[in-house]
């Protein structure tokens, strides 16, 4: 395995009980320091693949390699951002963000200091003492992102993180995510069903076909993310990518 590959999956197959074949023989490499998207219609097993990479559910066959080592469970080099935020409702923002460090047994002063830094980074400095039910959906997902950043994993797995957030907030959030990733050299694997989101964010897009999920195509949009968001959305590469994906995915929509 080359040094510039952060995560690699080899021949992953997953069959759920009841003979539902979610994934068949999926092999994929995720380059280090890039944002890679898994894109496909519902039922293509993209979330299943992400959770297999996270070590949250076992595959029936195949291997997951992370940083050159084969893994079969969760590990500190991977952090997950959940679609439904998965925040502890009884804990403050501060405790939620520090939760990963708390599980590792880090003393409170130390973990709170790290958590505060990342809370400020996602723009929630004034809400450290708030509870999740006092925050909007967008703010809750910022907490989820800060929690993933706080454990200092070099690979961040994001499962449709913006799907429960309204459109305006989502755009803002996408821009901020790109901005944030400029400062952290993280490998991000991002699951989405939004073509525009994938084209806007990604260095690499993998299209999965539905039932069973297989790699249909891998695209590298080649968009220069160092330019402003409005420029990107008018960029020819961006528009071509959106069109290319749509032409491909159209056949799966009934």
Partner 1 sequence: MTLFGRNIPIAFSLFVWFGLWEIVGRSGFSSFIPPFSKVIETAFVIAQTGKFAAAAAISLRSFAAGMALAIVVGLPLGFLMARVAFARRLLGMWVNIFVSAPISALVPLLMAVVGIGETTVVVTVFLFAVFVIVLDTQVGVQHADRSLVEMARSFGARRSQIYTKVLILSALPEILAGLRLGAIRGVKGVVIGQLLVAIIGVGELFELYSKHFLMEEFWALVMIVFLFAFAISESLAALERKVEYYAGSR
Residue numbers at the binding site for partner 1 (CB under 8 A)? 54-56, 74-76, 78-80, 82, 84, 86-90, 99-100, 102-104, 131-133, 147, 151
Judged by CB, which is closer to partner 1: 90, or 246?
90
CB of 139 to partner 1, least distance (A): 12
Determine contact, residues 143/87, Cβ cutoff 8 Å. Answer: yes
Beta bridge partners of 8: 29, 65
CB of 217 to partner 1, least distance (A): 29
Judged by CB, which is closer to partner 1: 9, or 245?
9
Beta bridge partners of 206: 38, 218
Judged by CB, which is closer to partner 1: 3, or 133?
133
CB of 229 to partner 1, least distance (A): 30
Determine contact, residues 75/55, Cβ cutoff 8 Å. Answer: yes
Judged by CB, which is closer to partner 1: 114, or 223?
114
CB of 93 to partner 1, least distance (A): 13
Judged by CB, which is closer to partner 1: 87, or 215?
87
CB of 91 to partner 1, least distance (A): 8
Judged by CB, which is closer to partner 1: 66, or 219?
66
CB of 89 to partner 1, least distance (A): 5
Q: Return the HEC string of the chain.
A: CCCCEEEEEEEEEEEECCCEEEEEEEEEEEECCCEEEEECCCCCCHHHHHHHHHCCCCCCEEEEEECCEEECCCCCCEEEECCCCCCCCCCCHHHHHCHHHHHCCCCHHHHHHHHHHHHHHCCCHHHCCCCHHHCCHHHHHHHHHHHHHHCCCCEEEEECCCCCCCHHHHHHHHHHHHHHHHHCCCEEEEEECCHHHHHHHCCEEEEEECCCEEEEEEECCCCCCCCCHHHHHHCHHHHHHHHHHHHHHHHHCC
Judged by CB, which is closer to partner 1: 89, or 107?
89
CB of 200 to partner 1, least distance (A): 26
Rounded Cα gap, residues 114 and 94, in angstroms: 10
């Amino acid at each position: 395995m080359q040094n510039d590959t952060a995560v690699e999956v080899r021949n992953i197959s997953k069959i759920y009980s009841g003979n539902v074949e979610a994934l068949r023989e999926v092999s994929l490499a995720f380059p280090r320091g890039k944002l890679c998207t898994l894109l496909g219609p519902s039922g293509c097993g993209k979330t299943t693949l992400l959770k297999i990479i996270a070590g949250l559910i076992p595959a029936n066959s195949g291997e997951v390699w992370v940083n050159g080592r084969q893994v079969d469970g969760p590990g500190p080099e991977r952090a997950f951002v959940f679609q439904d935020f998965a925040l502890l409702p009884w804990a403050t923002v501060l405790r939620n963000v520090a939760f990963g460090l708390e599980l590792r047994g880090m003393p409170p002063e130390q973990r709170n200091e790290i958590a505060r830094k990342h809370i400020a980074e996602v723009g929630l400095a004034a809400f450290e003492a708030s509870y999740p039910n006092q925050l909007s959906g967008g703010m809750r997902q910022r907490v989820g992102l800060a929690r993933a950043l706080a454990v200092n994993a070099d690979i961040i797995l994001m499962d449709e993180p913006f799907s429960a957030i309204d459109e305006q907030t989502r755009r803002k959030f996408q821009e901020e995510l790109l901005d944030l990733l400029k400062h952290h050299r993280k490998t991000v694997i991002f699951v989405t069903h939004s073509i525009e989101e994938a084209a806007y964010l990604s260095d690499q897009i993998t299209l999965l076909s539905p039932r069973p999920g297989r790699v249909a195509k891998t695209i590298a949009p080649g968009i220069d993310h160092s330019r402003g968001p409005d420029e990107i959305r008018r960029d020819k590469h961006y528009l071509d990518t959106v069109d290319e994906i749509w032409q491909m995915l159209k056949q799966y929509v009934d």
